[in-house]
Amino acid sequence: MSATRSRKTRTSPEAPIVLRRARGRLRVRRPQRETSFDLLSTVARDGIDPGMPEPSWPSGDAAFLTAVLRAQRVPEPLVQRISAAIPLSVPSNTRLPDRLSEALAICVDFGRLEDVLNAPRLFLAGPAGAGKTTLAGKLAVRSDRPSARFVNARTGRPGGEARLAEYAETLGLPLIDAAGVEDLAAAARLRHPLVVDTAGIDPTDDQAWESLRPWIAAADAMPLLVLPANVPVEDALIAARAFRALGGQHMIVTRFDMVRRVGSVLGAAMEGVALVAVTVTPHFAYGLRPLTPDVLARRLLSGALDDARWQAPAA
């Protein structure tokens, strides 16, 4: 018996997936929402049919969810914490994503995107190329405040100004150039909503993070950590710790559309930085989505199901 994947059903990496048997073959089909992951765990349980590849996912639901977290590169201490919070005695019709979602809600801090969009001033900080400038555009569009202004804070090496200027012009929003901390303080005193973009920093460089402190104070702004979904877990932990030390509490994850494994950014949440939202497109005006326990649970599961363990050996 062979196992195949139906390509036409995999239009989106976030689309729920269901495995089912049809005419003796294992197929991937776009599901009825209600049945998606429970059927999958059933397949994991009885994958010992003659001719089927040896299953390497564990059979129990809680053990399966723990394996999913590991496959997603969630830092091990957090895997342990989340696994311990997975509800054990649940009604028989409780779905796996709901159980994982419940555990995530207990173990990981989530923030509200509305709180970020309503903040009078935002200060974006993160590694070089993380998507800060693109996010500045998305935030300005979503908060939809005509008196808003972009600020290019020259906190480090020049780089992304041209891109920010382009977004400002397209959106019809003024752009303030803050060459120094005093310029930023003056911009903040105008009491317009500000989205402050900064230069990228090495996430493991404590001094670079510390150098942002006077800028954040001058902006009197909500700091926002911007981390790409593919950041190495060690960098996520160090960056989150340094960001927390600056008084930051909120994080937005970029490039959520580009990677299968998203567990490493959860390291930042372990350090007490709340997950708020993700971005899922390079476009500067679209693709900013709230991140909730439910969304994250489904994303962790669907990403893990692309794992090589599900692929049939070559015929």
* Interface residue list for ligand GTP (CB under 6 A): 128-134, 159-160, 163, 200, 254-255, 257-258, 279-282
Tell me whether residue 129 or residue 272 sits nearer to ligand GTP (CB atom): 129
Tell me whether residue 105 or residue 175 sits nearer to ligand GTP (CB atom): 175
Q: Report the alpha-carbon distance of residue 241 to residue 300 in Å, rounded.
A: 24
Q: Write down the least CB distance from residue 121 to Mg ion, Å.
A: 18
Cα 237 from chain centroid (whole Å): 14
Q: Write down the least CB distance from residue 163 to ligand GTP, Å.
A: 5
Q: Which two tokens stand for residue 142?
A: 């979503």
Q: Does 152 bind Mg ion (CB under 5 A)?
A: no
Q: Write down the least CB distance from residue 191 to ligand GTP, Å.
A: 26
Question: Which of helix, strand or coil describes residue 291?
Answer: coil
Specify the long-range contacts of residues 116-121, CB closer than 8 Å, at least 24 apart.
116/222, 116/224, 116/250, 116/252, 116/276, 116/277, 117/142, 117/143, 118/143, 119/221, 119/222, 120/191, 120/193, 120/194, 120/221, 121/188, 121/193, 121/194, 121/195, 121/196, 121/219, 121/220, 121/221, 121/222
Tell me which DSSP letter residue 201 carries. Answer: B
Q: Report the alpha-carbon distance of residue 82 to residue 106 in Å, rounded.
A: 8
In the list Mg ion, ligand GTP, none, the entry touching 205 (Cβ below 5 to 8 angstroms by class) is none
Half-sphere exposure of 118 (CA within 13 A, CB side): 5
Tell me whether residue 159 or residue 272 sits nearer to Mg ion (CB atom): 159
Among 133, 155, 264, 279, binds Mg ion (CB under 5 A): 133
Q: Write down the least CB distance from residue 257 to ligand GTP, Å.
A: 5
Tell me which DSSP letter residue 307 carries. Answer: S
Tell me whether residue 19 or residue 291 sits nearer to ligand GTP (CB atom): 291
Q: Write down the least CB distance from residue 271 to Mg ion, Å.
A: 24
Q: Does 228 bind Mg ion (CB under 5 A)?
A: no
Q: Does 160 bind Mg ion (CB under 5 A)?
A: yes
The partner residues of 275 in beta bridges, in order of sequence, read 110, 251
Tell me whether residue 132 or residue 250 sits nearer to ligand GTP (CB atom): 132
Tell me which DSSP letter residue 199 carries. Answer: -
In the list ligand GTP, Mg ion, none, the entry touching 60 (Cβ below 5 to 8 angstroms by class) is none
Tell me whether residue 146 or residue 158 sits nearer to ligand GTP (CB atom): 158
Q: Write down the least CB distance from residue 72 to ligand GTP, Å.
A: 18
**Contacts to Mg ion by CB under 5 A:** 132-133, 160
